[in-house]
Amino acid sequence: MSLSATELPSLKITFGPREAFTVGVPVLAGERNEALFGSTDSVGQHGDFLLFQTNGWLFGCASLPLTVGLEEASHRLYANIFKASRGFHLARIWNYVPAINHAGPEGMENYRLFCRGRSLAFEAHFGLNFNAQLPSASAVGCDADMLTVVFAACDAVPRHVENPLQVAAYDYPGDYGPRAPSFARASVVAGSDGATVFISGTAAIRGHASIAPESTRLQLACTLENLQGIATACGLGPGLGAGHGVARHFKVYVRHAEDQPMVATILEEQLLRDGDRVSYLRADICRSSLLVEIEASLFKAQLR
């Protein structure tokens, strides 16, 4: 008998040996703790965010109860990010959204409320042309009753990249909500020992339309093609930078827990290599029609 979500461990995001944040996303298989940046130093708190720093990088994590509503919570946390990261450049943001596909006030889906709050915060900070400043990001559902946001910012100026197979999320038509999602498909940060590359949550969207809404297997095939497309646009090549000493971390979200073994088998054959680190997670995804999503974080990548 399969475990229920309440019996599964929740993903923990770790900064250094003592600071770990539970985000309310059950782990089905693979790694339970995500520690992308190794040891970091705590550098205090700014607004709602606890902050950590290492080697030209600044990280923050905050969880906010929804007593003020999801849209306001989203706007508030993003306004906090811009203040906390002053002097740095945003490279990646992770969002864990309660009841992401459920209807909120006035019947609007929670993800759309979140997107409106986020977008308005970006516009208030960067102005009408804020799209050029958008970093890579993901937003998935969580079982917690708080909105959790984690960001990574750096000294270097990132290069934000779009996928030629997909419409830029910030250019989605109004069919997907009153404010389009505010993120780039990937962000690339150059470094002396190789690039850090963040590939946003990637799913079976071609152009701006969802593909094969009834088939996880077909959606996974489309998702892998989209990953190849964005990886090539970043300069990683279609193999997503495998080899050459690159460290690759993947998070794989499945809407239905029973799909995880099939998804894992295909990924072992078509994507994963020895040394890759992967977490398989049970989560609702930003569109109710999407059944699987994959994100990647790569370190010391050699670009072509």
The Cα–Cα gap between 8 and 257 comes to 11
Angle at 124 between CA 122 and CA 126, to 5 degrees: 60
Inform me whether the pLDDT recorded for 170 exceeds 70: yes
Is residue 293 among the annotated active site residues? Answer: yes
What's the average model confidence in pLDDT over 84-105?
96
The Cα–Cα gap between 38 and 184 comes to 25
Provide CB contacts within 8 A for 47, sequence distance 6+.
62, 79, 80, 83, 84
What's the average model confidence in pLDDT over 175-190?
97
pTM over 0.75: yes
- Look up the domain containing 92 and give its range: 5-301
CATH number at residue 224: 3.30.1330.40
User: Which tens digit of pLDDT belongs to each residue from 102-145?
Assistant: 999 889 999 999 999 999 999 999 999 999 999 999 999 999 99
Inform me whether the pLDDT recorded for 3 exceeds 70: no
SS (H, E, C) 122-190: HHHHHCCCHHHHCCEEEEEEECCCEEEEEEEEECCCCEEECCCCECCHHHCCHHHCCCCCCCECEEEEC
CA atoms within 13 A on the CB side of 123: 12
Q: Which of 34, 109, 293, 295 is catalytic?
A: 293
Angle 216-234/260-270 helices, nearest 10 degrees? 40
What is the tally of structural domains in the chain?
A: 1
The Cα–Cα gap between 207 and 67 comes to 36
Check if the beta carbon of residue 154 is closer than 8 Å to that of residue 92.
Answer: no
Inform me whether the pLDDT recorded for 304 exceeds 90: no
Angle at 54 between CA 51 and CA 58, to 5 degrees: 40
Inform me whether the pLDDT recorded for 292 exceeds 80: yes
Res. 86 pLDDT band, cuts 50 70 90: very high
Residue-level pLDDT at 155: 97
